[in-house]
Every structure is written in C-alpha cells, then in structure tokens.
Amino acid sequence: MRKYFGTDGVRGRVGEFPMTPDFAMKLGWAAGQVLGAEGVREVLIGKDTRASGYMLESALEAGFSAAGVNVALVGPLPTPGVAYLTSTFRADAGVVISASHNPFDDNGIKIFGQGGQKLNDIQEQEIERWLQVAIDGGMTCVSSEKLGKARRIDDAAGRYTEYCKANLPGHLSLNGLKIVVDSANGAGYRVGPAVFRELGAELISIHDKPNGLNINENCGATSMQSLCDAVLAHQADMGIALDGDADRLMMVDHTGAVVDGDELLYLLAKDAKRAGYTGGVVGTQMSNLGLEQALNGLNIPFKRAKVGDRYVLEQLNATGWRLGGEGSGHLLSLDHASTGDAIIASLRVLTSLLEQQATLYDAKQGMHKLPQTLINVRYTAQAGHDPLDTPAVLQAVALVEQQLGQTGRVLLRKSGTEPLIRVMVEAVDADRAKSSAQQIADAFS
C-alpha cells in the first residue's frame, strides 16, 4: 500500500502536509535515491500556472541536487508535454508540478520514468520508503563535487507545439474552421491556441491569461458553460476545452452541446476501426454504458479498468490495445502519445471529422449516453465492518439489478479520500436512474 502517492502522484492543499516545501524537497531527494540507482542522471521538471509552482519547483530542485541528480527546468507546460520532452531531450525522468483540474490552492507532484511513462507501483513504493527515511531525519547530501546541477530549457513550449502540430496529417488543414479554445488559465495557455492557429483555424481563445490564482476557475474541461456560450456567441464550428494541465479534453459541438470523454473515445474508436484497427478499447468502471453498447455495435471489444488513467494504461499494456480513456476527458491513443494529451486527442478527432467531412454533432450520433445518477453516502468506519457487505445493501443492489436487466448498470465504490460510498446507477431514463440510486442509498441507513 502506498501512503503518499495516489492514482495521480502526490496531491494536497498548499501549505499543508504533504504540499509543503520541506516535503517537496524530501520527495525530490527520495526520488533521486531511487531513480539514481536506476541510472537516472537528469530529471526534467515542468509545472502548470499555479503560484505555488515556483515554491515547489525550487524545493524539488534542491532535493534532486542533494541526491546528485541534475535538473532541467521547462517552466509552464502541459503534463503530456513534459512526458514528451522527457523522451526527446533524453532526460532519464520527468516531474510535473500540477493538481490538474483542482483549484489553485491545491497542487501536486507527478513523476514520469524513462520514455514519459508514469512510474509503476513498485517504484512509487520504493520512493516512499526513502521518503520516510528523509522525514525521520535521515536525509543526506552527496559531496559537493557530486551535487546535481540545474539548467533552464527556453524553447520547450515551441518544441512541444511543433510535435502537436505534426499530429494533423499533412494533407489536411484547419482552414475554414472557426474554433473556440478554452485553456483553463492553465499550462496549455500558450501551446493550445498556437497549435490550432498555426494549423489554419480561425481561433477564438478564452481563459488564456493565467495569474497564478485563476487556473480552472469557472473555466476549462471541468466547467464548460463559458465555452458553450462562446461557441454559440461566435457561431463557431466547435469548442475545445483543456483542463489545468492539459491532459483532459472536452469538446462542444456547433449547437453548444458538450461532447464528453466517453463520446470522444467512441469517435476515436470508430475512426480507428475504419482505418484497420483490430484491437479493443479500455474504459473505466465509470464509463457510460452507452459507450459499451455503441462499441459492441461496431464489434469493438471493451474492457473496464479501475478509475484513473494509470489503470487504463495498465490495462492497455496488458491487452496490447491502443485506445482507452475516461468520461472526464483523459484519452489515451498510444499510437500518438504515451500519456493522456488533450491537444493531440483533439487533433485526432479533427482528423477524423475532416476526412469524413462530418461535423462533431453528426459524428457523435452513433452513441446514445444513458442517464446516470450518482449519490454519495457517508458512513462511519468500523473495524471489521464493510458497509458494502451488509444484507440490506446486497439485497437492494440485487433487486435494482434485476429490475434493470440489460438496460442499466449499478456501481458501488468507496471513495479513496473520505468515508463515502459512491452509488452510481445508469438506466434508460433519468427518473429510473434517480429512483434506483436512491433505493440503494437508503439501504445504507
């Protein structure tokens, strides 16, 4: 079991443990001990636009240096950009300082290994072992001649921009398309608009003026209303929303309707099959049943992983498949990027639309999302007692599943951060989903 690493690195409120400069320095040192033993000599560090990124960047730099590991600083850059540059700069590892879609007063630290892949559980557990050594007062420092050095890479954003642009085939252009891009005042605020503008689109850029405090604030992939309004106001062909670190993608069609990660994954899978892809698709426990049904209709195999893009990637690696993602907008297309990349995913969608001469609205029609209700039920933790195993709950679940048959789905899962049971029900209509979810939630009382 990992104590500090969650599904997406170490995360928390800035100024409170573990998001303190002292902890970040010790985490850098611990990571340096583990990665250094694996041959790592340089780590590339990027960040999003949170004000706290400067503090945590300096602390991590000190920790890596004390462990004898060099550091290359790239400044604000999307998480997938750091993963890409970690590979192309031949850095041995990468670090992203970001809390993704969270508010500005949270932050997080994610670590990539060689090739831009996220660390595996064993590596993270070993880092935590060394981290505990540091927390207990055992942090050391290499001799002065072996200290890690730091350098700054000034053209990182330009290099990543060119890499993204290369994902639109050369025979295609965005000329004639009016696109609104919402950068969430985050890490993609420069790269995102530049990519679409340089590929020929008539671009309207919104939420592209980060001040360290406004990242994800009523904007981006987790707050879509302003993008929907902008698409309608400008009579645009579509809208593209990034989240704070630009690894999530949500889109808006010309009618102002949101197109979420499940629908985008369906579009990518349908296009891949048309191009000869014979593999399947990995979603999560939370993927809409409508996605599974639509893929079944195309004879595309579908598997569900635990919630979290790292688990989607694990399942992809296990099956040898190339496509996966989450309804929240984490989309993996391993033929084009080693991690979730909102800009590249949007270019894959655009490629499909251009080649099919279809609108986003038309392309999504093959999938029908089922209404979904989610209820959070708080419980009191008791030793030896699992609220999911109580007879009343088991009976309620069995009854609802019998009533829904093949037309719906039930999912119960514990929150990883607080004593909550998440009760999710999908059904053919919203009223049935709501009443069924409430029927199960009542069984916990």
For residues 283 and 265, is the Cβ–Cβ distance under 8 A?
yes
Does 243 appear as a known binding residue?
yes
Distance CA 404, CA 9 (A): 37
- Amino acid letter for position 184: A
Does 247 appear as a known binding residue?
yes
> Please, which contacts does 329-334 make with residues 24 or more away whose CB atoms are closer than 8 Å?
329/221, 329/241, 329/243, 329/248, 329/249, 329/250, 329/260, 329/261, 329/264, 330/247, 330/248, 330/261, 331/249, 331/261, 331/264, 331/265, 331/268, 332/282, 333/268
pLDDT category of residue 1 using cuts at 50, 70 and 90: low
pLDDT at res. 89: 81
Choice among 27-31, 266-270, 307-311 with the minimum mean pLDDT: 307-311
User: Which among 55, 65, 61 has a CA at the least distance from the CA of 107?
Assistant: 55
Inform me whether the pLDDT recorded for 417 exceeds 70: no
pLDDT in tens, 73-109: 999 999 999 989 988 887 889 999 999 999 999 999 9
Residues with a catalytic annotation lie at 100
pLDDT in tens, 142-161: 999 999 999 999 999 999 99
What are the two backbone dihedrals, phi and then psi, of residue 83, each rounded to the nearest 5 degrees? -60, -45
Q: What is the mean pLDDT of residues 237-258?
A: 98
278's CB contacts (< 8 A; 6+ apart) are: none
For residues 214 and 271, is the Cβ–Cβ distance under 8 A?
no
276's CB contacts (< 8 A; 6+ apart) are: none
Burial of 6 (0-12, 13-18, 19+ CB in 10 A): middle
